[in-house]
Chain A
Amino acid sequence: MNDFNPKTWLENYGDYLYNYALSRVKSPELAEDLVQETLMSAWRAREGFAGRSTEKTWLTSILRNKIIDNFRKTSKEDTVSYNFNLEPGNDDDGNFNAWGIWKTYVPNWLEHPDLVIENEEFLQAFQSCMEKLPENMRRVFVLKYLEEKEAEEVCQVLDISPSNYWTILYRIRARLRNCLQKNWYKK
């Protein structure tokens, strides 16, 4: 039988869970609320904890579910809109001229991921570009890349169509690339 002490959870894992939530949701207040809900749910479900994983892993998996539930709930409630201009040919990022040709020279950088995958500076720049994404794009990014969800599940959670999903991913990639070119490559 485990000797549960939720106050110890808060002391030992509070900041870790908070940072985990902050890496996925934009608002610090929401991150704090999610940590609180996680610890309360963990306390209520303590009998179900079989001890097969560590307490930290167990609490993290509860938090992950809370984050996804929050995305699902707020997407259904329409507090986050996915109805921005997704028409093919719309160029929000200003990369192309009226004929759809690159406006400016595309420099040759990021030829191969191995060149940057262990570069601390690049990873930090990538993280800060990700944080600049608008909420709707950020959620798609979090579910696809950080939570490793399949396309079908992302569409279901966020209540969007597959073609919206692919277009949003295109916009995310274009933005991240532009942001890294400006803030990392040109620095």
Chain B
Amino acid sequence: MRSRISKFLGLFLIVSCQRYSELSSHYLDRKLSFKEKVTFYLHHFHCTFCRRFFRQIKSLDVVAKSDNFKQQLPNKKMSESCRHKITSKLEEEVYKPE
């Protein structure tokens, strides 16, 4: 039944996979309007590829917010010339007369 109703409504509210993919991203950031919600769900139930896309960006969102991801830092060394520059700047500042 749900499928027949959604097929009927789908005639009026057809959206492309591209539009769905945009809406699915907005779904993660803001409240969708009523029309956006209807078009989103109608497409969602019919399109396997789009459901996969949505699950993938939802998972990426969770990983990007995780401490595991945020605590990952590069492992580079500051250049020696920069160290010297900062040291002399700091010395200037520290020994500057009040």
Interface positions of A (Cβ within 8 A of B): 6-7, 10, 14-16, 18-20, 22-23, 28, 32, 35-36, 39-40, 43-44, 88-89, 91, 95-96, 99-102, 105-113, 116-118, 122-124, 126-127, 141, 145-146, 148, 151, 162, 166-167, 169-170, 173-174, 176-177, 180
Contacts and interface: CB of A to CB of B under 8 A. Distances in A.
Interface of B: 16-19, 21-22, 25-26, 28-30, 48-50, 52-53, 55-66, 68-70, 72-79, 82-83, 85-87, 89-90, 93-94
Given A32-B82, A106-B53, A169 B29 contact: yes
Contact of A10 (B28, B53, B87): B87
Chain B facing A: main interface SS: helix
B16 A99 contact: yes
Contacts, number: 151
B89 to A, nearest CB: 6
B70 A146 contact: yes
Given A10-B86, A89-B19, A126-B69, A166 B30 contact: yes
A61 B98 CA distance: 26
A102 B64 contact: no
Contacts of B82: 32, 35-36
B26 A166 contact: yes
Nearest to B92: A40
Contacts of A116: 59, 63
Contacts of A35: 78, 82, 86
A76 B15 CA distance: 37
